[in-house]
Structure formats: structure tokens, C-alpha cells
Amino acid sequence: MVREGAKRRTSFAFCMDAKNDPLLMIQPGNKPEQLRAHLKAGGGRPPMAWGTFVVRSDEMEMTCEQAPTKAITGLKRFLRANKPKVNVLFRDDGGNLLDSLKPEKASNDDGITTLDEVNTTGIDPKLVQPLLARAKRIKPRIARAPGPLERKLKRGLSKSLSQINEGRLEEAQTLLTVIEQAVARIGADRENADASMKRSDRSRKTRTLGADVNRAKKLRASIVRAPGSKRSKLDRAVHVAARLLKHKDYDKARLVMDRIEKALSAIV
């Protein structure tokens, strides 16, 4: 159900049968009232709820055109028993919130499962934001993967978010790339594996540039300890490194900064 809602807006209808067992039907499209006849043919009885639903990121929004309280309560109970991995919002056709259902967190799942749980205090936002943007982009696409692979990719995404939370950005970068390529291979993403790799490389270079710029700033602050003549020479060297970074010549910039650090160590 979640997988279908992630692909397109889908119609649903729900009720209980004569034995008080739940009946739920879904089909693509925006004409849920057509499902009523199928429910009745299957032994369904009033009250019935019907409408459409769509899944965006980690939320499934169910817009109910017909929403008797008893039917919505039964639908909520049915969904809870099936343990959806997304937040479910029940709304009337005017957009008003009728009820909601939050997913149960598995007892053996100690990882971070949502972007809101990531705490990047103390980590340069320029290094973190590209990774979080990639995680946010890929999360709804994982829902379209076949069952076992979907669970595996979700665990991988949770692990990458935990790594970001711990400041292990290179490891998170590598794991996100693997997830993106897996999703691209199964056709759940419009982006192919080569494009995913190129975007990953751009993200890596952006994060690397941020780290190198911070390194240059720290070196410049440390130069004030050097004697006058050496301070001027080292200051010029930092400017050279900054210019190389600006022109994206990262290897030469790092070589210059290595020499500056060596010179500062000798002075201290």
C-alpha cells in the first residue's frame, strides 16, 4: 500500500464484513467511490470509508471523501496491526485533520530513522547539508524497492544518518552512494547509476573544499605566533593556498598547507 502511494495518488475504500473482519481495496486513480460496489460484492457492510492517499517522504496522507468515525477507527486499527513504516494522516476532503497514526519503532532498532533525529551541532553545515539533502531525496524512493531489499536499504539509510550524527561524514558519504546506486539499478529512481556517481562526486568535492577552507583559516590564525619575517612569508603562502582552492586545484593547495604546517611546527 505504501509502495503504491509513493508511485501515484491511489484510491482506497475500507469497511468491515459480516464477520467483523476488515476489507480494504485500493486502485490507481481518483475515483474511490467506484470501489464501493467491489466492497459490497466482497461481503462488506456499512459504515464505509473511501478516498485517496499519497505517500510523500515519511508521511502517508489519506484524504477521506466519506469518513464515518467508526470506519476511520477500524481503518486505523487495521493499519496499526500491519505496522506501517510511515506516519499516517487521516483528513477530510476539506483538508482538516481527523486522526493520525505514528509508526511503531522496532525494539531492536536503535539507529536513527528520521532526518529530524540527526543532531549536527558542532559540525560545519556546509559539510553536512549536502549529505542530508541526498538522504532526504532518496528516502521516499526506497519505499518502491521489493520487500527484502527495501528493508535492507532502510537499515543502510538509518546507519548513514547515525554516521552523520556522529560526524563520520566520509563513511556516510560512501554508504549513501551505495544506496543511491542500488535504487537506480532497480529502476525506482529516474537517475541512473552513472549520474548518481557523478552527483556523489560533486557532493564529495563540495565537502572537501569546505574542509580545506577551514584548514586554511586555522593556519592563518596560527601564523600570528611566527616571528615578523617568517610571518609575512607564511601569510603569503596561505594566500597562495586560498587562490589554489578558489581555482579548484585541491592537491596543490593541500601541498602548500602541508608545508605551512611543517614550518609552524618548527617554529613552535
- pLDDT tens figures, 145-174: 777 788 889 889 988 988 888 888 888 888
Interval 7-27 mean pLDDT: 91
pLDDT at 51: 93
- 110 confidence band (pLDDT: 50, 70, 90): very low
Q: How confident is the model at residue 107 (pLDDT cuts 50, 70, 90)?
A: very low
Distances in whole angstroms, Cα of residue 92 to Cα of each of 11, 52, 61, 109, 185: 14, 10, 10, 34, 38
Confidence category of residue 210, pLDDT binned at 50, 70, 90: low
What value does the mean pLDDT of the chain take? 81
Residue 6 to residues 53, 56, 212: CA-CA distances in angstroms? 9, 6, 40
Q: Is the pLDDT of residue 97 over 70?
A: yes
- pLDDT confidence tier of residue 187, bands split at 50, 70 and 90: low
pLDDT at 202 over 70: no
* Arithmetic mean of pLDDT, 23-32: 88
Domain spans in the chain, listed from the N-terminal domain onward: 2-101, 115-191, 211-267
Residue 133 pLDDT > 50, yes or no? Answer: yes
